[in-house]
């Protein structure tokens, strides 16, 4: 997993409208980059709704919020529409970026082990370096937690 102080890995992925979004497009802004397992599942829906409801607060702090999963562009379209999401969702169907950031690994559900996306969030500073990492995130209240950490990092000048 990428650690604070390391250069964020650039990427170019399609959003729900098929438009290519690159990390470098946001240099000069703070970036909240969150990885989540699957559209329209309970935890992922809660997390996306919370981030969407706080989007204006993030924007006031010169920050963008990007969510990445293995879901398709079409899945993101349906998910966004169904829940009136305003957060930018990106499709990484091959999990290349998910793996590059270290948000992929062994998981366990109902006693079975499998490989999948580990819910993680990275705060990237305006210069393109990882400023903070949340590992094995719990979705409920996470957007507030990230917002508070972002304020703290900005106050410290990180």
Could you say which of 31, 44, 55, 89 is catalytic?
A: 44
Six token digits for residue 85: 């999401």
Length of the chain: 158
Are 22 and 10 a contacting pair, CB within 8 Å? yes
DSSP letter for 50, please: H
- Please give the Cα distance from 130 to 1 (Å, whole number): 11
Q: Residue 6: which residues within 8 A CB-CB, separation 6 or more?
A: 129, 130
Based on the number of CB atoms within 10 Å of its own CB, is 109 exposed (0-12), middle (13-18) or buried (19 or more)? exposed
Structure tokens at 51: 């981030």
Q: How far apart are CA 40 and CA 12, in angstroms?
A: 23
Catalytic: 25?
no
Residues labelled catalytic: 44
């Amino acid at each position: 997993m990428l650690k604070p102080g390391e250069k964020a890995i650039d990427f170019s992925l399609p959003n729900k409208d098929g438009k290519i979004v690159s990390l470098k497009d946001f240099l000069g802004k703070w970036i909240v980059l969150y990885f989540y397992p699957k559209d329209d599942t309970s935890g992922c829906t809660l997390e996306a709704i919370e981030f969407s409801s706080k989007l204006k607060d993030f924007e006031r702090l010169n920050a963008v919020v990007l969510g990445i999963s293995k879901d398709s562009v079409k899945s993101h379209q349906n998910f966004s529409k169904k829940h009136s999401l305003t957060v930018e969702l990106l499709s990484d169907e091959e999990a290349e970026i998910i793996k590059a950031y270290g948000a992929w690994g062994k998981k366990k559900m109902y006693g079975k082990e499998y490989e999948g996306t580990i819910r993680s969030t990275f705060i990237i500073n305006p210069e393109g370096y990882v400023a903070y990492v949340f590992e094995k995130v719990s979705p409920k209240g996470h957007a507030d937690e990230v917002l508070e950490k972002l304020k703290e990092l900005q106050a410290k000048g990180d």
